[in-house]
Chain A
Amino acid sequence: AQKITQTQPGMFVQEKEAVTLDCTYDTSDPSYGLFWYKQPSSGEMIFLIYQGSYDQQNATEGRYSLNFQKARKSANLVISASQLGDSAMYFCAMREGRNDYKLSFGAGTTVTVRA
């Protein structure tokens, strides 16, 4: 079964506007971590933001925030004030267990920011 589901293959957003990327996950482990990565055309995976399953507050990192809804098993990424440099592929990933080193990735969402 798919552990991470990203239902939006591609999205367009106007510069300076906000965009929300959907991510739902499936796990029976009470301890898990959720990640978002950005992959520009150059290929590397750039870590953006992390949310632990026991974290009480939603994670924020600059223009990135994670809308964590535990009961719905969703971890949507919100990018505020989009910039042209935000155009990239975005991946949601999950680590199950507190110390597991494996990441399960979603299929990704391509974001294109328009001027």
Chain B
Amino acid sequence: ETGVTQTPRHLVMGMTNKKSLKCEQHLGHNAMYWYKQSAKKPLELMFVYNFKEQTENNSVPSRFSPECPNSSHLFLHLHTLQPEDSALYLCASSQPDRIDEAFFGQGTRLTVV
């Protein structure tokens, strides 16, 4: 257990579905991150939130919509995804500007059919 919990662990969704990924941490961190890990590709940073404010959107398509209602929770809302969006989505948290002390969750394995 790293202190960062992601649910669900596995998700299969159709291209017309709407679903949400959840990330929760009680480490007292104020920065949270979404990463995408596709097969045979390096991890890609998607979004960064510092103190609930989005500070980074790494050119992510609008079919991915993040939400950070408080410093402990981060969501990734998904709609009209494509099969190439199938990947492991990892959440991480840290203190702002302390990525060297980031903790990662176990990820959500997403399959788009």
Contact = CB atoms under 8 A, between A and B. Distances in A.
11 contacts: A33-B100, A37-B104, A43-B90, A44-B104, A45-B43, A93-B43, A101-B97, A101-B98, A105-B42, A105-B43, A107-B40
Given A44-B2, A45-B104, A95 B40 contact: no
Contacts, number: 62
Interface string A12-42: 0000000000000000000001010100001
Interface residues on A, range: 20 to 34
Given A101-B31, A101-B96, A103-B99, A42 B42 contact: no
Interface of A: 4, 33, 35, 37, 42-47, 50, 91, 93, 95, 99-108
A70 to B, nearest CB: 18
B94 interface: yes
Interface in B71-113: 88, 90, 92, 94, 96-100, 102-107, 109
B88 A103 contact: no
Given A43-B88, A45-B90, A45-B92, A4 B107 contact: no
